[in-house]
Amino acid sequence: MKRPELLAPAGDAEKLRAALHYGADAVYLGDSRFSLRGKAGNFQGEGLREAVRFVRDQGRKAYVTINIFPHSRDMRDIEEHMEFLHDIGPDAVIISDPGVFKICRNKAPDTDIHISTQANITNAEAARFWQDMGARRLVLARELSIEEIYEIRCRVTVELETFVHGSLCLSYSGRCYISSFLAARSANTGECTNSCRWNYALMEEKRQGEYFPVFEDERGTYILSSRDLCMIEHLDQLALAGVDSFKIEGRMKGINYVAGVVKVYREAIDAVAGGRDYVVVPRWLRELAMFSSRGYTTGMYFGRQPDEDYNFDGESYRMSHELVGIIVARQGESATVALRNRLDSDDAVEFLSPGIEEQLFIVGGMKDAEGNLLHSARNEDIIVMKAPREARVHDIIRRQKKFGCAKAEAPVVTHHA
């Protein structure tokens, strides 16, 4: 079977390096002005040039997002940005608007174009339209079932991309106005406030000021907030349906999420392409339970499901493990670590390194840069500590959260075929 591409989010330079380190074939990134994740760290000007160059030097691919729905006032800036992209040469740009498509063709004629999921491609005729226009890849709408994806695959020759993991938006393919109405920030121009994930109550027209809860549990109701997508158990079916690229959502997520999720899906995709029956490794499910999520669903890939298979159950983001630090250098049995959290000398930590993912190591011999013995260190400190031989430069170190979180268990991902 053809090996699908693993496409990972790169919300900033650190996440970009993590995604590539843990096995992404390609990353998507953007300038805040033209990206639907405008509040991510993102890349501007020469920073974007350097990021694209770094990815290409690693033998991977970089796709730049220009997927806002622009107003007339935005078009001149987009023209200038497209000229800049023509100069730096990303592998493709991700576009949702026909006007931006036309600008790209005029300003960067040799740049491949991927049509964003915000273009709402839900049928083969729409897919063929974009193919005839010269698009290289189509990011299909999230409303499609696997059968519908296969039907489109049979009628077009362009590459197809689908999401396999991450947050789901309950609006139509991400086109949303809730944030605009409630917070004066347009989700369609990259300023989404995640208003659909707020807590809501019911108010009757003639009973102003009386709020009636729509009960889900004692915390309130989150009727507009979906569980997160997780297709780890069904990647073989997506591959058989003809999907060329598996996309992970998460430019707003932390490096712990990016590194861990990319690593799991790298192993899973390699297994899909291995020529044997696809078998889900239990460790993958345990790994995915460690990172921030609202519980998991398979979305609409298997058709309409009962509401309980979509709806967030009111829990806060589930995350059993937290980021401790990133290895920046190795010296024999020790590692230099850039901390992203407090670390104490008796903490039990895990290294996200091949072969030792679930082993616990007690922190010992922790020192500062001058060699002074430390009992504790803080976020942004640079320390030296003992490390197993399997731990590599750029590997992350994590630990089970100390407060308010139970031990991770394998997520239940349900679907109704």
pTM of the entire predicted model: 0.85
Q: Which pLDDT belongs to residue 320?
A: 83
Q: How confident is the model at residue 406 (pLDDT cuts 50, 70, 90)?
A: very low
| Over residues 178-186, mean pLDDT | 65
Q: Which pLDDT belongs to residue 364?
A: 83
Choose between 69 and 121: higher pLDDT.
121
Choose between 306 and 397: higher pLDDT.
397
Q: How confident is the model at residue 224 (pLDDT cuts 50, 70, 90)?
A: low
SS (H, E, C) the chain: CCCCEEEEECCCHHHHHHHHHCCCCEEEEECHHHCCCCCCCCCCCHHHHHHHHHHHHCCCEEEEEECCCCCHHHHHHHHHHHHHHHHHCCCEEEECCHHHHHHHHHHCCCCEEEECHHHCCCCHHHHHHHHHHCCCEEECCCCCCHHHHHHHHCCCCCEEEEEEEECCCCCECCECCHHHHHHCCCHHHCCCCCHHHCCCEECCCCCCCCCEECCCECCECCCCCECEEECHHHHHHHHHCCCCEEEECCCCCCHHHHHHHHHHHHHHHHHHCCCCCCCCCHHHHHHHCCCCECCEECCCCCCCCCHHHCECCCCCCECCEEEEEEEEEEECCEEEEEECCCEECCCEEEECCCCCCCCCEECCCCECCCCCECCEECCCCEEEEECCCCCCCCCEEEEECCCCCCCCCCCCCCCCC
CATH of 321-400, one of 3.40.50.970, 2.40.30.10, 1.20.5.510, 3.20.20.70: 2.40.30.10
Whether residue 143 is predicted with pLDDT greater than 60 in this model: the reply is yes
Q: 19-56 pLDDT, tens per residue?
A: 999 999 999 998 878 776 555 556 888 999 999 999 99
Q: How confident is the model at residue 407 (pLDDT cuts 50, 70, 90)?
A: very low
Q: Which pLDDT belongs to residue 190?
A: 65
How do the domains of the chain map onto residue ranges? 5-173+225-309, 321-400
Q: Which pLDDT belongs to residue 357?
A: 92
Q: 228-264 pLDDT, tens per residue?
A: 899 999 999 999 999 999 999 988 788 999 999 999 9
Q: Which CATH superfamily is domain 5-173+225-309 in?
A: Aldolase class I (3.20.20.70)
